[in-house]
Amino acid sequence: MKLEAYLQTAIQAAKAAGAIHLYHRDQDKGVSSKSNFSDLVTVVDRLSEEKIREIILASYADHAILGEEEGTIGEHHEARWVIDPLDGTVNYAHGFPCSCVSIGLELEGVRSVGVVFDPNRQELFTAIRGRGAFLNGQRIHASSCTDLRQPALLTTGFPYDVAQDRRNLEVMGRFLALGLPVRRPGSAALDLCYVACGRFEGYWEHKINPWDVAAGLLLLEEAGGKYSNFSGQDYHYGDALLATNGHIHHQMLEVIQTP
């Protein structure tokens, strides 16, 4: 019952933030840069995070929250919300409609509830641990593709310091050199949800933050997919991430590990 209540709060917050994205879509978004010229932030990132925090704290005043824009409050509580108020900011700033809100809840460090809302397509991805993954209320599953050359459709992302940290240029080059279709849509949370619902077979990225993946990883797990670090071991925040439909996981690891 409690998990269902947490889910409803996450949905309410994600939809409220999504409405903010849509409201500001055709207005001045107040774009500025953070770590470098390509790492953008908009007024909408900040307004959305404020709204999400307000909704969560109205029901759970003592819970911890980690958000991309405002950092952490209440570090040591057993319940921690991990939020990306706008994943795909560069897309959003350019009017390219591939962006979302991502809200995950960890209980005693275990990812337990996940919500990703794409206001552009009105797609709501939801999951509670042990109860399956859903897209707009319909159960979703990772794809049944068993061979990279079927072919699998792959997706990846790059850190904002890609000009300095070029590791993924090499890895992506390896997949492309095999003749495989690789995309770079620009929203890690949606990349994971799309693997979860079978639109993509595999996703990898080197430098990814907890708020990018906290919700999407649970969605993927509940949809029957698999994830690991690049050594094939348990993924922890900070590691490079490989997420797949499960069937092609080893084939992708081989490509990643064999230069």
Residues binding Ca ion (CB under 5 A): 68, 84, 86-87, 212
| 114: phi then psi, degrees, rounded to nearest 5 | -140, 135
The residue (of 113 and 188) whose beta carbon lies closer to ligand IPD is 188
Contacts 24+ apart (CB under 8 A), 92-96: 92/21, 92/25, 92/29, 92/42, 92/44, 93/29, 93/31, 93/40, 93/42, 95/25, 96/186
Residue nearest to Ca ion (CB): 87
Binding of residue 87 to ligand IPD (CB under 6 A) = yes
Helix or strand holding residue 102 (H, E):
strand 100-107
Binding of residue 186 to ligand IPD (CB under 6 A) = yes
The residue (of 118 and 212) whose beta carbon lies closer to Ca ion is 212
186 interface partner picked from ligand IPD, Ca ion, none, CB below 5 to 8 A per type = ligand IPD
What lies within 8 Å, CB to CB, of 52 at 6+ separation is 13, 14, 16, 17, 67, 83, 85, 101, 103
The residue (of 185 and 246) whose beta carbon lies closer to Ca ion is 185
Length of the chain: 259
* Helix residue spans in the chain (DSSP H): 2-24, 43-59, 89-94, 167-177, 188-196, 210-222, 249-257
Among 208, 214, 242, 248, binds ligand IPD (CB under 6 A): 208
Among 21, 69, 79, 84, binds ligand IPD (CB under 6 A): 84
Residue nearest to ligand IPD (CB): 157
Which stretch, 181-189, 193-201, 216-224, 248-256, contacts ligand IPD (CB under 6 A)?
181-189
49 interface partner picked from Ca ion, ligand IPD, none, CB below 5 to 8 A per type = none
User: Which single residue is written with the structure tokens 């509580």?
Assistant: 77
How many CB atoms lie under 10 A from the CB of residue 162? 15
Dihedral sign (CA 49, 55, 60, 61)? positive
The residue (of 72 and 257) whose beta carbon lies closer to Ca ion is 72
157 interface partner picked from Ca ion, ligand IPD, none, CB below 5 to 8 A per type = ligand IPD
Binding of residue 187 to ligand IPD (CB under 6 A) = yes
Binding of residue 88 to ligand IPD (CB under 6 A) = yes
| 83: phi then psi, degrees, rounded to nearest 5 | -125, 135
Give the separation between CA 233 and CA 254, rounded to whole angstroms: 14
The residue (of 116 and 188) whose beta carbon lies closer to ligand IPD is 188
Look up residue 248 and give its two tokens. 């092609």
# binding residues, ligand IPD (CB under 6 A): 13
The residue (of 68 and 106) whose beta carbon lies closer to Ca ion is 68
Residues near ligand IPD, by CB under 6 A: 84, 87-89, 157-159, 186-188, 205, 208, 212
